[in-house]
């Protein structure tokens, strides 16, 4: 019978850190650590054990080969955030800004103001400009 404590110790031994301090491991390193302890797992069995027992690690191998790359889940989230921020910064440098375009430009606000001064209701202004009545109230509060 395999002792879970020995398997867990071999797992901890095979976990590595990259230059940013993120934890990861390759299945082959885990299998080697197990063999040094006299435990003979195949890579398939090792992957199954990691998936079952170490839920805070996620499989990041594109094709599900036997020698997989396992990364700590928190690290993956941080990598996604890092890539997203880098992409947004690159877009900003090119003059692009994210988000929805403003409907209420200065010209539209001025058009709404003129229509209200000429006696149109806010509903009529909203119908003509294609915005909600609440938006008209936001930009041109009732006096």
Q: What is the pLDDT of residue 97?
A: 82
Q: What is the mean pLDDT of residues 119-135?
A: 94
Higher pLDDT, 140 or 80: 140
pLDDT digits (tens, 9 = 90+) for 52-96: 888 777 777 766 666 677 777 666 677 788 889 999 999 999 998
For the chain, domain boundaries: 4-74, 106-139
Q: Name 140's Cβ contacts closer than 8 Å, sequence gap at least 6.
A: 109, 112, 113, 116
Would you give the end-to-end CA distance of the chain in angstroms?
Answer: 82
Radius of gyration of the chain (CA): 29
- For 32, the token pair is 């080697």
Q: Given this structure, which CATH class describes domain 4-74? A: mainly alpha
- Give the number of residues written for the chain: 143
């Amino acid at each position: 019978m395999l002792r879970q404590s020995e398997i867990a110790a071999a797992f901890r031994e095979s976990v590595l850190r990259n230059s940013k301090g993120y934890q990861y491991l390759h299945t082959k390193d885990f299998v080697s650590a197990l063999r040094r302890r006299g435990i003979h797992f195949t890579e398939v069995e090792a992957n199954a054990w990691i998936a079952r027992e170490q839920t805070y690690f996620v499989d990041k191998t594109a094709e599900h080969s036997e020698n997989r790359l396992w990364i700590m889940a928190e690290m993956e989230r941080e990598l996604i955030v890092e890539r997203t921020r880098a992409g947004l910064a690159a877009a900003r440098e090119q003059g692009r800004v994210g988000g929805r375009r403003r409907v209420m430009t200065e010209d539209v606000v001025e058009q709404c103001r003129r229509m209200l001064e000429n006696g149109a209701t806010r509903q009529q202004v909203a119908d003509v400009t294609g915005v909600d009545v609440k938006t008209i109230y936001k930009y041109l509060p009732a006096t």
